[in-house]
Structure 1
């Protein structure tokens, strides 16, 4: 399979749980806790299959980070799945308008997540 997933979340517990889940299914996983770091990782290695972006982070939030990815020529093609505890219909729309390709609400339904990753990568 060899699909690479970048997890961006300011909560190490979320990263830990997602990493375990995805690695158990054969994905290669990298993670970081800040949007700026995610941009640097993607620029140095644009071969990621998908980015799981937490939308509620301190500093640069996920909405701004997705816009920055879309505005950066060498990484704008990388699919982004917004991951957020904000589960209202307008939140989904807000994520998609920011440039996310899909949206998963927390707590994460693993089957939905895997389906989203497979669809985009």
Structure 2
């Protein structure tokens, strides 16, 4: 697989999730950045114009994924960055709720790596 020049930003409040996603994606030749919360993630995007997609945890204490996507839509630098929702919420309607909030894709935890890679390849 040919690696893209664009980077993946993982925003998750659990460092174990960041570690696992980063390890798997790096092994697949993707370049990853990480943030422990949405505000930190926004700053990373603003400093790195090569962020091609955000993997956003939907359940974070400070600013959840829905609030984070709403804030991104309001910001000129952030509004066009595609977001893939990554969540432990896998109840009926959760996927639709994430997509309605602005996510371009949805993956539930535990993450199916092949499904995630297919989604990432659409945006990188």
Fold equivalence (TM over 0.5) = yes
**2:120 is the alignment partner of 1:117:** yes
Q: What is the TM-score when the length of structure 2 is the normalising length?
A: 0.93
Change (3 A) 1:71 1:46: farther
| Residue of structure 2 equivalent to 1:83 | 86
Poorly superposed stretches of 4+, deviation over 3 Å: none
With 104-113 and 70-79 compared, the bigger mean Cα shift is at 70-79
1:21 Cα shift?
0.5
1:47-99 per-position Cα deviation (integer Å, ceiling 9, x unaligned): 21110000000011111111111221122111100000001231111111111
Aligned-residue Cα RMSD (Å) equals 1.0
What is the match of residue 43 of structure 1? 46
Gaps of 5+ in 2: none
Q: Structure 1 pair 46/67, CA: closer, same or farther in 2 (3 Å)? A: farther
Q: Name the TM-score, length of structure 1 as normaliser.
A: 0.95
Whole-angstrom CA distance in 1 between matches of 2:92 and 2:121: 23
Match of 1:100 in 2: 103
Report the secondary structure of 1:49's partner residue. strand
Shift of 1:3: 2.9
In 1, distance between residues paired with 2:50 and 2:106? Answer: 21
Gaps of 5+ in 1: none
Query: Which residue number corresponds to residue 68 of structure 1?
Result: 71
